[in-house]
Structure 1
Amino acid sequence: MSADDWYLTEDVDDFLARAGGFLRSRPGAHVMQLTWAERVRVRGLAALFGVSGRGREVHGTFFRLQDRGLGLSPLTPEQADSLAARLAALGHAVPSVSADERTAVAFAEAWRRHSGVAATPRDLRLRLYRLGTLTPPEPPPAGRARVLGEQDLDQVVFWCGKFARSVGEDVFLDAATWAGSRFADKRYTLWETPDGTPVSVAGANPLIGGQIQVDVVHTPAHLRGRGYAGAVVTEVSRAALAAGAQDVVLFADLSNPTSNALYQRLGYRTLTDWAGYDFDGG
């Protein structure tokens, strides 16, 4: 495949006109492409997009937000090589790449060949799950789910801040920075004990391409092991299906066997493993 087979654009509408059908044909595998294209469209963010293929035939895509790394759809080694060749020829500095594991490995190797820049694998490795048949926990813990609204911004900021710190995200959240964060476009649900004490949170992205991603799941360490996370993820998953989602997906940290086992008990099945690489001096 020639490097010229990659069409590049900074126009998200152009990108979606060319690749939207391809992305929606496999929404689970393309969850990050669909999610970030929608955020760029809604928020007016600066981004670069790419489409591999000729005419109406699309084989792969990428996106890159300003000053951030590449997000890739599943690519063959040949497609990854042609993309690396194209970006290197244009003088692009690529700080990192994130994709399904095979694609990430293929691009990291291709980028080294074409740019001479070494890749360092990230410690965080994820598994992408897709919901099969939702299987609620039995018995559920005492309490109830409560959907948070605009009047609950303080609660949302508090819980997302705790989640971000728990997974090592370097972000500062408060009322002033909230709207520009990746957390702002989600719908959040708390699990509360019978006396109204919040003990666990789960968030969900908007319906995009017939799919909803469950994103942000957190229970404070001293409250874990009581079924709260299973209960709130069940409620969020149920709400996603009720909203018309044909697919419900989520990521889990592979180093956390407890959360992976929980999601599988709830009916989530492995879709693919996910990996990231940082490039020295990118």
Structure 2
Amino acid sequence: MARHQEQQYLDLVEHVLRNGDKRIDRTGVGTLASFGAMMRFDMSDGTFPVYTTKRVYWKTAVKEMLWFLTGQTNIRSLLTDNVRIWTDWPLDKYRKATGRTISQQDFEARILADENFALEWGDLGPVYGKQWRRWVGPNGQEYDQISAVIDTLRSNPSSRRMLFHAWNVADLDKMALNPCHNFYQFFASGIGEREGGSAPRLSLMVGTRSNDLGLGNPFNVCQQAALLAMVAQQVDMVPHELIWVGGDVHLYLNHIELAETILKREPRPFPKLRLVRRPDSIDDYRIEDFEVTGYDPHPAIEAPVAV
């Protein structure tokens, strides 16, 4: 029997839990951390790597990826789509700046109701989407890294330069959170088989400088798999491998119980993903385009986000 692909994740969680270096981190929560990891997920049969040892809210993860692709940086559009995963950072900034103890619910309600308030307090700075779609060069010219990758995949799929990243050194101090998943590189294989009727295969490697294994990693792997599926469709290829590479991989000390719980659970089959239509461009995907079947995870586990 083939080894379940999720076991890679569980092995990594167990390794960090048993052998991680205990340290105080930027958030003050503290972590167990290890350095250097890799996981490979084969998507060639339609598999969608959404972990099953705890429920992953895959729609929320994919909506975040779709938001990145818009190039937007304000949480207002996320909240409109019922995605709250970025609220903690501007809320923390607002509380510290004003001294007010506003609840998250009230803060989000005001962001949605008051456009001027959202402009002042809801922006995250030049985070992921800004760098992916509107990287500003020294001459003031904007560069759309995503479009450039897709163009190269169509015109020169054997290129070794099909990548984009978000680590813009000049903008780091303006960001609510420095990029964690900061390097994406594509690789097309079977290019010469196109003439024989077989579609080339597209793989994606994502480099992650810092990864919260309890909450961040399940979201990231899911949404990066969705990105691979979208780009492959746009360039007439089929998804092959999602390769995840981690630098500082860690468990927050208040996620230890989460880790111990999932390690006691048996992984269940990954679901399948089908894109129900082919949009005109990478900019036109909607959450309704993602049909996920066969997802039967263990129950969700609530855990706090470290800000």
**TM-score scaled by structure 1?**
0.27
Structure showing greater relative contact order (alpha-carbon pairs closer than 8 Å, 6 or more residues apart): 2
**TM-score scaled by structure 2?**
0.25
